[in-house]
Amino acid sequence: MTPAAPTLSGWGGMTRPGRELASERLDSITAGATLTRGLGRSYGDSSLPAHASDRVASTVLADRILRFDDATGVLRAEAGLSLAQLNRVSMPRGFFTPVTPGTELVTLGGMVASDVHGKNHHRQGCFGAHVRSLRVRLADDSIVECSPAEDSDLFYATIGGMGLVGHILEVEFVLHRIPSSWLIVERERVRDLDELLEALSRAAPKWPLTVGWIDCLTRGRSMGRGILMAGRWATAEEAEPDPPRRARLRTLPFELPNWLLNPLTARMFNAAYYWRRLRRRVSGPSAPQPFFYPLDAILHWNRGYGPRGFTQYQCVLPRAAGAAAVREFMQRLTRVGGASPLCVIKDCGREGQGVLSFPLEGTSIAVDMAVSPDIQRIVDRLNELVIAAGGRIYLTKDRFTRAEHFRAMEPRLDRFLTVRHKYDPQRRLRSAQSVRLLGDRA
Amino acid sequence: MKAIILGGTGGIGRAIARRLAQRGDTLFLLGRDETELARSAADLNARQPTPSVMGHAQCDLEHPEGFAAALDTADAALGGCDTVIVTAAMFATQEALEADVELTRRLTTVNYANTIVFLEHARKRLLARGGGRLVVFSSVAGDRGRKPVAIYGSSKAGISTYLEALDHKFHGRGLSVLCVKPGFVKTGMTASLKPPPFAGEPDRVAADVVRALDRRQPVLYTPGVWALVMLVIRWLPRFVMRKIDF
């Protein structure tokens, strides 16, 4: 029996032949590497090598905090520091990351490369807006420090640049002070899509953290019924006396069979989630963990989708396109059969400075979908609608978008390619995703 | 606890240093690379409000002439240490060692002869003040002569035997010796190898080590399942060992 060739996989279960090099010394393993990856939480092919023999550097062992200033909140760390680790260190000291994605099992390097956004995007923008400086290894193996003042073109192309402009070695950013380690969270059941969109915009000026969950399996009048979740940090008086306890992690030790997640079970799940609380509106203190990272409570929850894997379709539709575009999106989603239990909606604030950063002012919608024989058609149909509305998709989640669709929704692409060409004329840094979307050589 | 750590910048040593710093122990770091030492010290100090690292100094297991001075510097900075932890060592695959006799000389010198010289210096200092704790990383590879780790394993067998004797000889005088025998742990050292079943995570292993250290346990297999695995391996007859490639 010959041993199976090593593979790397994205969070959605897509695998590619290849292996990663891990070392505490990021400066040595990134030399000659074509791609750097962290915890592999991007859903599609962003963290997968273009070719099996490519040198892929793993950052996860390079996780040191190099500087933390209690007075200003400025923190500098190696790119492999995970957000989970950072939270454990910073929260007891009254600081929290300025922006957090929906999982804490990501690295700082990944947060910069994806320019992640969170429930506070309408107030704080993306993570990149809080980064002061980056240490980057370029394709010619030189190491440079870049910032909004120094090599700013490199800095803004690296933020949200999916690791295609340089290997991120160190990140310096500003943490926010928090009054306690508890949140005050309000959940409100809303009856349909219009009400949800209205509730989101009504909550935005009042609450620094907002997000909506949509039951996108319900059709007709209740289409888009859901739950609005809003939160803010609790003051020292409102907070529980003890710091929140971290729940014990559970794991899904094996893949569930493909058939387990079917229209019926998904509908049952959604109804249960929608009616979970009898009162229409509930509010009170909550630990940050279940609010920010509900799915992290189960390690390897992605196995729930079975061996076929899954993808997440996330797009943002500009405010100008209005609620009508969101409604049309939901209708098309149901019609093409892409609906699933996990559908999250969020109103985004202004576009950031990362050249390829995802968010723009409007409504972001994220839907998990099992990979089925139909998936390419579903993604194509949705992309056509997004292009028509003037929106775009989130590369970190993507695995099926066609190159021509990406180009059509990304007027900033040429600017990005110009910077990339300046720092890496041979396009040495590349990924399976850049082969698919930017036509890089495999 | 006031501990000197040789090899605390990476791998399991890094994880142990973090656990000790977190609970308020004070540390002094010894290692080969000045920059790495400074970065690790910064990391350990940034992780809690009060700094835990009293300093760091260069100390290379390939250069035994520097051991005494490095230990004295560390000892002075800590105001008298009570614990010495050694996680540093060299690793190379059997293939690489067989292909390069010079590498074999270096590895066996570092892992066996020089490590013992370092420990002799450390032991004498601890015993002079009435005892203390020695924590040294050996390996399950030293438990039985095995094909894939013939040379590396023999260097670790020597260390295990030495530590066992130290425990016999000085336990009565207040010296606790902990011989740590990790199985496969996913660190930078083993990054080029394919992880076998029951491969451990550095932080899990570090937690086991700190617990064993507190209990003054003489030998630790970690992850724990390796105690069982090695028990079986030790009792396999020679004709089986000749056949299998484990």
Q: Are residues A173 and A138 in the same domain?
A: yes
Going by C-alpha positions, the residue among A178, A171, A174 that lies closest to residue A95 is A178
> Alpha helices, DSSP H only, in A48-189?
83-90, 108-113, 121-124, 152-158
Indicate which of A61, A74, A93, A135 best probes the interface with B, i.e. most B CBs within 10 Å of its own CB. Answer: A61
Tell whether A156 and A218 lie within a shared domain.
no
DSSP A228: E
Whether ipTM tops 0.90, in short, is: yes
Note which residues in 169-198 of chain B have CB less than 8 A from chain A.
186-188, 191-192, 194
Q: Are residues A46 and A167 in the same domain?
A: no
- Contact between B27 and B53 (Cβ < 8 Å): yes
Mean pLDDT in chain A?
92
Contact pairs from chain A to chain B, CB under 8 Å: 42
Considering the domain architecture, whether residues A53 and A69 belong to the same structural domain is answered as no
Q: Name the strand (E) or helix (H) holding A382.
A: helix A375-389
Cis status, amide bond into B49, omega within 30 of 0 = no
| A172 shares its domain with A102 | yes
For chain A, say whether B2 makes contact (Cβ under 8 Å): no
Query: Given a cut of 50, is residue A324 above it in pLDDT?
Result: yes
* Same domain, residue pair A23 and A71: no
**Closest among A293, A308, A337, A285 to A84, alpha carbons compared:** A293
**Tokens representing B53?**
């690292």
Choose among A3, A21, A65: nearest Cβ to B47: A65
A43: confidence class by pLDDT, cuts 50, 70, 90: very high
Interface test with A, best of B39, B40, B189 (most A CBs within 10 A): B39
Partners of A17 in the β-ladder = A7
pLDDT at A248 over 70: no
Same domain, A167 and A272: no
Least confident of A122-131, A150-159, A238-247: A238-247
What are chain B's domains?
Answer: 2-243 (3.40.50.720)
* 8 A C-beta contact, residue B136 and residue B159: yes
- Rounded to two decimals, the pTM is 0.93
- The residue range of the domain holding A111 is 65-178+411-435
Nearest-10 crossing angle of helices A322-336, A375-389: 170
CA A351 to centroid of chain Cα atoms: 16
- Read off the pLDDT of residues B165-211 as tens digits, 9 standing for 90 and up: 999 999 999 999 999 999 988 887 787 777 777 788 899 999 999 99
Q: Which regions of chain B are under pLDDT 70? A: none
Q: Are residues A231 and A290 in the same domain?
A: yes
Examine the domain organization and report whether A141 and A188 are in the same domain: no
Q: Cβ contacts (< 8 Å) between B49 and chain A: which residues? A: 70, 93
Residue A80 lies in a domain: yes
**What SS3 string covers chain B?**
CEEEEECCCCHHHHHHHHHHHHCCCEEEEEECCHHHHHHHHHHHHHCCCCCCEEEEEECCCCCHHHHHHHHHHHHHHHCCCCEEEECCCCCCCHHHHHHCHHHHHHHHHHHHHHHHHHHHHHHHHHHHCCCEEEEEECCHHHCCCCHHHHHHHHHHHHHHHHHHHHHHHHHHHCEEEEEEEECCECCHHHCCCCCCCCCECHHHHHHHHHHHHHCCCCEEEECCHHHHHHHHHHHCCHHHHHHCCC
Does residue A441 fall inside a structural domain? no
pLDDT digits (tens, 9 = 90+) for A404-430: 999 999 999 999 999 999 999 999 999
Nearest CA in chain A to B36: A25
Angle between helices B34-46 and B11-22 (to 10 degrees): 30
Number of domains in chain A: 3
- Output A274 or A191, whichever has higher pLDDT: A191
Q: Cβ–Cβ of B47/A61 closer than 8 Å? A: no
pLDDT at A349: 95
* Same domain assignment for residues A240 and A143: no
Q: By CA distance, what is B33's nearest residue in A?
A: A25
- What are the chain A neighbours of B56 within 8 Å (beta carbons)? none
